[in-house]
């Protein structure tokens, strides 16, 4: 990581921290947390486990930075109640929740008209009396953060000048993002204060903090609760564990979270959120949330049904580039995403396309998350028509208007086998919402032909050959 980008990271974080001053960040000069302040992804070399983990946090942050709306989902919510005999409440409006007027005002000021799918069920459970515990899983962007922030703000007694709600986030940056939501939603609640338990936020020993809500990373929160005693954990009424899947992917966070949870009173409300629910997350969730209600929202299935898939046979990188130019010469492509296996190829391809006069955006692993978010934003706004990227950078990002996806290199896992899930995910960028999409795969060796055949077999969907030297044939694929 170059010194200037490190400096940039610190500047950006400080700027973000300062913007939260109305909620009283304890110390002005906040330094980045060791838990991933500088996020770096590398697709070129085999990743170590730690880098993988960093990726998850980076991905999550990137998603938050580029997201301005709820994700569209038609899937049903699955609810498992601790007490199956009690009636299941769900709400279709925020009024039904009988929120404090200042909070309702905050919700509307954020532009929320009605609860999201997950909020319809989660909010009545979280706000019920007596408080109930909850484990909730739904994909990123479905309204989880807004839901638990509303729950914390509802339970807080502003007159009591000590921490009552504790929220754990996996990284410094994610904590700041959630802090911003608390700040926005609590805008009409000036007496409410928020403190950041993140590394670098140094308080004087022996001090007690008066803020009613504390958000932070597990290590610092643990120190503040035990060693430094800035927080009296026995007075916590709501404990939120956000991004549990990212959390447990980080060394030490799982144990620290459990140790914090053990210090809390028995009747403290425990809420855990996760975008995914693999076994490890589920086990962890059950350890930290006793007697939970459970809410799950299934991910929208991606399908290849509305996508026409082709492959082009080439002998090397230059021929692949030529094929790409031929395609661009024959058909009008509104916006395309092009995936490469390595940063080096992505950089080279972006430069070559620029030389040909294309407006190209490049997403590359050495970029800071904030820079990546800015690149994606520009692409979304249509400022560039081609986005060249490696897989690590683009995993999980939503750019809905893309009409063509090009696999300049086919997706493979670290053992060189076809990565079907990534294929589906990449191609799924196009052909959404009933639109017809186009996917073109570049094949440049026997090995990659074999990969393509296996992908074809896996999805049981034919991928047709395209001769890019024949302009008429290329034109036909858009019919
Ligand atoms: N009820 C709502 N109506 C409209 N927009 C909403 C509503 N709830 C949340 N949003 C907005 O939708 C976006 C996603 O919400 P939120 O961040 O709460 O989702 P999330 O599930 O927590 O996602 P992530 O896991 O990525 O943080 C945000 O921009 C948020 O402001």
Name the residue with the closest Cα to ligand 1, atom 25.
140
Give, in order, the Cα–Cα distances in Å from 250 to each of 126, 219, 243, 323: 27, 11, 11, 43
pLDDT attached to residue 15: 37
260 pLDDT band, cuts 50/70/90, is: very high
Least confident range from 47-56, 354-363, 365-374, 425-434: namely 47-56
Q: Is the CB of 106 under 6 A from ligand 1?
A: no
In the chain, what is the straight-line distance between the N-terminal and C-terminal CA atoms, in Å?
Answer: 47
With beta carbons less than 8 A apart as the criterion, state whether 376 and 396 touch: no
**Exposure class string for 127-140: b at 16+ Cβ within 10 A, else e:** beeebbbbbbbbbb
- What is the reported pLDDT for 36? 33
Ligand 1 pocket member 69 (CB < 6 A): yes
Does the structure show a pLDDT above 80 at 51?
no
Is 98 exposed, middle or buried (CB count within 10 Å of its CB: 0-12, 13-18, 19+)? exposed
pLDDT mean over 347-374: 90
Question: Has residue 45 got a pLDDT over 60?
Answer: no
Q: With 0-12 CB in 10 A as exposed, 13-18 as middle and 19+ as buried, what is 31? A: middle
Pocket test for ligand 1, best of 71, 93, 113, 145 (most atoms within 8 A of CB): 145
Q: Is the pLDDT of residue 25 over 90?
A: no
Decide if 240 contacts 167 (C-beta within 8 A): yes
Q: What per-residue confidence (pLDDT) applies to 14?
A: 32
* Measured CA angle at 430 (ends 424, 431), to 5 deg: 100
Chain segment 220-233, per-residue pLDDT in tens: 999 999 999 999 99
Does the beta carbon of 145 sit less than 6 angstroms from any atom of ligand 1? yes
What pLDDT is stored for residue 397 in this prediction? 67
142 lines ligand 1 (CB under 6 A): yes
So what's the pLDDT on residue 217?
96
Q: Is the CB of 63 under 6 A from ligand 1?
A: yes
Report the range of poorest mean pLDDT among 28-37, 256-265, 267-276, 417-426: 28-37
pLDDT digits (tens, 9 = 90+) for 59-114: 788 877 777 677 766 677 888 887 777 777 889 999 999 999 999 999 999 999 99
In which band, very low, low, confident or very high, does the pLDDT at 23 lie, cut at 50, 70 and 90? very low
What is the chain's mean pLDDT, rounded?
83
Testing ligand 1's pocket by substitution, the residue of 57, 65, 66, 67 carrying the most ligand atoms inside 8 A of its CB is 67
- Residue 436 pLDDT: 72
- What is the band of 2 on the pLDDT scale with cuts at 50, 70, 90? very low
Query: Mutate which of 143, 173, 177, 242 to test ligand 1's pocket (most atoms within 8 Å of Cβ)?
Result: 143
Please answer whether residues 271 and 148 qualify as being in contact, where contact means their C-beta atoms are separated by less than 8 angstroms: yes
Ligand 1, atom 1: nearest CA belongs to which residue?
Answer: 115
* Residue 119 CB–ligand 1 contact under 6 Å: yes
**Looking at residue 10, what is its pLDDT?**
31
Output the six-digit token pair for 181: 């939501």
| Beta-bridge partner residues of 294 | 80, 135
Nearest-atom number in ligand 1 for the CA of 63 is 26
Lookup: tokens for 444 = 């440049």
Q: How far is the CA of 327 from the centre of ligand 1 (A)?
A: 38
CA 266 to chain centre: 31
Q: What is the pLDDT of residue 24?
A: 38
Confidence bin at 254 (pLDDT 50/70/90):
very high
The reported pLDDT for the residue numbered 393 is 64
Q: Which atom of ligand 1 is nearest to the CA of 275?
A: 25
Distance 182 CA to ligand 1 centre (A): 12
Spacing, Cα 203 to ligand 1 middle (Å): 32
Mutate to test the pocket of ligand 1, among 63, 70, 175, 215 (most ligand atoms within 8 A of CB): 70
* Cβ 112 under 6 angstroms from ligand 1: yes
CA 247 to ligand 1 center in whole angstroms: 19
From the CA of 147, give the closest atom in ligand 1.
18
Ligand 1: residue whose CA is nearest its atom 18: 143
Q: 10 or 168, which is more confident?
A: 168
Q: Which long-range contacts (CB under 8 A, 24 or more apart) does 218-221 make?
A: 218/168, 218/247, 218/252, 218/253, 218/256, 218/257, 218/260, 219/35, 219/252, 219/253, 219/256, 220/33, 221/166, 221/168, 221/197, 221/256, 221/260
Share of residues in the chain with pLDDT > 70 (%) = 83
- In this prediction, residue 27 has a pLDDT band, given cuts at 50, 70 and 90, of very low
Q: What is the pLDDT of residue 301?
A: 64
**Arithmetic mean of pLDDT, 6-16:** 35
Smallest CA separation from ligand 1 atom 4, residue: 112
pLDDT digits (tens, 9 = 90+) for 147-194: 999 999 999 999 999 999 999 999 998 999 999 999 999 999 999 999
Angle between helices 101-109 and 172-185 (to 10 degrees): 110
Q: Higher-confidence residue: 348 or 14?
A: 348
213 pLDDT above the threshold of 50: yes
CB of 70 sitting under 6 A from ligand 1: yes
For residue 426, name the pLDDT band (cuts at 50, 70, 90). Answer: confident
Length in residues, the chain: 479
Q: Does any ligand 1 atom lie closer than 6 A to the CB of residue 274?
A: no
Task: State in Å: Cα 69 to ligand 1 middle.
Answer: 6
Atom of ligand 1 nearest to the CA of 64: 26
Question: What percent of the chain has a predicted confidence (pLDDT) above 90?
Answer: 53
Q: How remote is the CA of residue 192 from the centroid of ligand 1, in Å?
A: 22
Ligand 1 binding pocket includes 115 (Cβ within 6 Å): yes
For 455, the token pair is 């992908």
Predicted local distance difference test score (pLDDT) of residue 234: 97
Q: Is the CB of 64 under 6 A from ligand 1?
A: yes
Residue 13 predicted with pLDDT over 60: no
Alpha-carbon span 234 to 211, nearest angstrom: 15
Q: What is the pLDDT of residues 279-318, one digit of tens each?
A: 999 999 999 999 999 999 876 666 788 889 999 999 999 9
Per-residue confidence (pLDDT) for residue 9, from 0 to 100: 37
Q: Are strands 293-297 and 77-80 parallel, antiparallel or unpaired?
A: antiparallel
ipTM for the complex? 0.96
């Amino acid at each position: 990581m170059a010194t200037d980008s490190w400096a940039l990271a610190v500047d950006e974080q400080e700027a973000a921290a300062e913007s939260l001053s109305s909620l009283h960040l304890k110390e002005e000069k906040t330094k980045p947390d060791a838990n991933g302040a500088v996020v770096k992804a590398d697709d070129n070399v085999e990743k170590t486990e730690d880098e993988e983990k960093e990726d998850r946090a980076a991905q999550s942050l990137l998603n938050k930075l580029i997201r301005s709306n709820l994700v569209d989902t038609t899937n049903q919510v699955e609810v498992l109640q601790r007490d199956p005999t009690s009636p299941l409440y769900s709400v279709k409006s925020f009024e039904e929740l009988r929120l404090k007027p200042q909070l309702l005002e905050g919700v509307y000021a954020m532009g929320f008209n009605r609860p999201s799918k997950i909020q319809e069920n989660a909010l009545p459970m979280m706000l019920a009396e007596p408080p109930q515990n909850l484990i909730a899983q739904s994909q990123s962007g479905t309204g989880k953060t807004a839901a638990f922030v509303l729950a914390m703000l509802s339970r807080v007694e502003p007159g009591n000048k000590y921490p009552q709600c504790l929220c754990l986030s996996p990284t410094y940056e994610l904590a700041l993002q959630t802090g911003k939501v608390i700040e926005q939603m609590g805008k009409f609640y000036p007496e409410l204060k928020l403190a950041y338990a993140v590394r670098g936020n140094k308080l004087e020993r022996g001090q007690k903090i008066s803020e009613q809500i504390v958000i932070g990373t597990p290590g610092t929160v643990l120190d503040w609760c035990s060693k430094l005693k800035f927080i009296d954990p026995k007075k916590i009424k709501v404990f939120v564990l956000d991004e549990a899947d990212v959390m447990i992917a980080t060394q030490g966070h799982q144990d620290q979270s459990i140790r914090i949870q053990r210090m809390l009173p028995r009747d403290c409300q425990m809420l855990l959120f996760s975008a995914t629910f693999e076994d490890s997350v589920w086990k962890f969730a059950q350890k930290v949330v006793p007697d939970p209600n459970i809410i799950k929202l299934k991910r929208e299935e991606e399908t290849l049904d509305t996508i026409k898939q082709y492959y082009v046979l080439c002998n090397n990188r230059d021929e692949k580039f030529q094929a790409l130019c031929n395609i661009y010469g024959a058909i009008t492509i509104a916006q395309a995403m092009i995936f490469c296996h390595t940063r080096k190829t992505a950089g080279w391809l972006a430069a070559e396309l620029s030389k040909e006069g294309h407006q190209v955006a490049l997403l590359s692993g050495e970029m800071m998350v904030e820079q990546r978010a800015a690149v994606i934003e520009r692409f979304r706004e249509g400022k560039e028509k081609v986005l060249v990227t490696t897989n690590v950078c683009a995993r999980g990002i939503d750019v809905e208007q893309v009409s063509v996806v090009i696999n300049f290199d086919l997706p493979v896992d670290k053992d060189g086998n076809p990565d079907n899930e990534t294929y589906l995910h990449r191609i799924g960028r196009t052909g959404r919402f009933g639109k017809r999409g186009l996917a073109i795969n570049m094949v440049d060796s026997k090995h990659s032909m074999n990969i393509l055949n296996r992908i074809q077999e896996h999805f049981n969907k034919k991928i047709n050959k395209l001769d890019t030297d024949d302009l008429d044939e290329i034109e036909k694929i858009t019919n």
